[in-house]
Amino acid sequence: MKAIVAAELDPTFRDELAEKMKSLDFANCLACGACTAGCAFSDLHPDNDPRKMLRKVILGMREEILSDPFIWYCTMCERCTVECPMCVNIAAVTRAIRGNFRTDSPGFLQKVVDDTIRSGNQMDVQPDEYMETLEWLQEELQAELGDPDYRIPVDVEGADFLFGFNAREVKYYPNELQNILKIFYAAGANYTLSSQKWDATNLALFSGKDEDFWKITEPMLQEVVRLKAKELVVTECGHAFRSVRWGYRTFWKGPQFPIRSILEVLDEWIQQGRIKLDPTKNPEPVTLHDPCNLVRKEGVVEPQRRVLKAAVMDFREMFPNGRWNYCCGAGGGALAMPEYTEQRLIKGKRKVDQLLATGAKIVAIPCHNCMDQFNDLNKHYKLGMKMEHICSIVERALIIPEKEPKA
């Protein structure tokens, strides 16, 4: 970095950023370097040092910070914040700079945001395509379950929960949605899907533009109210879960209701005996990835572990894990920025080393965003491992109760 010239510093930048964030969260920085030590990626490629970025902000180096590659390299995983003695949230600072001071947006990040605002989902699935997919899944499940009366509930008022999911589960992975609905069937769940707003994902969480963010997430929360559901349950997608929970806490002014991850619901059902599993159906060693948005940011740590221990014969932890686990390298919208693919795969090597140390054959990944990264890492580093969502593992172990004959 070039010499710092006091006359070129702009102290108003810090005040502007604080106003945008509605706090002076970053003003407590001690410049101790704990954030850089805690970042799993700070030594992997240039311009990836959170301490340097934050010092530029605090000193008022406006031009330097607005051209700093760190703003887009950062995965916003909050691993640095875990280590910060002053709890400075560098991910929040990064997001605020992205959304309020940068006019560019790498790759197709903003395009996905715009498409979601326009169509209601990030995969631009049209309403007729969505309903046709549900009809097809209904027919498949009728045959698989041997229950011609089975129906997928849509727009049913007063259900115990509205289920919000990821558009990928409709566009590319309907078999995974089928697995989830099969679990709901086995549990006798009283739930509904929405015909109007069903995609809980929101890439504006990463672009940093709050106006865009709320245009996408508010309709999901409004559907809970419209359908009079008791709570919102979100699929295995870390950033979708984070989006609705953060949006609810930050912007929502309507009626209050719980928002839970499907993993919390599965854990509850297993403990209640509502679903029964045969772990011998999953004999291979399984390890678990902790998505940053689900675990570190939203605090869902133990439910997925209890679920896996009930569903598999050999569960193995990565170390570190839980709140201290490493980001997979694809956070912060990195998958939507193909110009940074090299950096993303370099970051992923930290996760690869964790995986190999477990000796596991299957990696349980409760996040669609992370899943795409793990599939890329599996191919790039020739791991030969199987990457699965937890619901798919549970479905394989699921014991379907015999349907009582009609009187």
394: domain CATH number is: 3.40.50
For residue 7, pLDDT beyond 80: no
For residue 405, pLDDT beyond 70: no
Within 13 Å and on the Cβ side, how many CA atoms surround 266? Answer: 32
pTM value?
Answer: 0.96
Average pLDDT, the chain: 95
The verdict on 210 and 288 lying in the same domain is no
The verdict on 261 and 280 lying in the same domain is no
The verdict on 114 and 67 lying in the same domain is no
Give residue 170's pLDDT: 95
The verdict on 30 and 117 lying in the same domain is no
Instruction: Flag whether 203 is in a domain.
Output: yes
The verdict on 86 and 127 lying in the same domain is no
Contacts of 282 (CB under 8 A, 6+ apart): 311, 312, 313, 362, 393, 396, 397
Give residue 399's pLDDT: 97
Helix (H) or strand (E) holding 220: helix 210-226
Domain boundary among the residues 267, 284, 312 is at 267
Give residue 206's pLDDT: 97
Give residue 22's pLDDT: 84
Instruction: Flag whether 404 is in a domain.
Output: no
Domain boundary among the residues 101, 129, 156 is at 101
CA distance 166 to 174: 10
CA distance 84 to 40: 14
The verdict on 343 and 244 lying in the same domain is no
Instruction: Flag whether 235 is in a domain.
Output: yes
For residue 315, pLDDT beyond 60: yes
Helix (H) or strand (E) holding 112: helix 109-119
Instruction: Flag whether 4 is in a domain.
Output: no
CA 58 remoteness from chain centre: 30
Q: Tally the domains of the chain.
A: 3
The answer to whether 295 and 320 have CB atoms below 8 angstroms apart is: no
Give residue 3's pLDDT: 76
Contacts of 113 (CB under 8 A, 6+ apart): 203, 204, 207, 209, 212, 216
Give residue 103's pLDDT: 75
* Mean of pLDDT values over 207-215: 97
Give residue 402's pLDDT: 77
* Mean of pLDDT values over 293-310: 98
The verdict on 114 and 165 lying in the same domain is yes
**pLDDT tens figures, 336-375:** 999 999 999 999 999 999 999 999 999 999 999 999 999 9
The one-letter amino acid code at 246 reads W
Instruction: Flag whether 43 is in a domain.
Output: yes
Instruction: Flag whether 16 is in a domain.
Output: yes
> For residue 86, which of 58, 48, 61 has the smallest C-alpha distance?
58
Instruction: Flag whether 173 is in a domain.
Output: yes
The verdict on 300 and 353 lying in the same domain is yes
DSSP code at position 281: G
Per cent of the chain over pLDDT 70 is 98
The verdict on 178 and 255 lying in the same domain is yes
Give residue 391's pLDDT: 98
- Tell me the sheet residues that pair with 234: 164, 261
Query: What's the pLDDT band for 407 if we cut at 50, 70, 90?
Result: low
**pLDDT tens figures, 90-141:** 999 999 999 999 878 899 999 999 999 999 999 999 999 999 999 999 999 9
The verdict on 142 and 214 lying in the same domain is yes
The verdict on 229 and 339 lying in the same domain is no
The verdict on 60 and 187 lying in the same domain is no
The domain in which residue 202 lies consists of 109-267
Domain boundary among the residues 210, 239, 267 is at 267
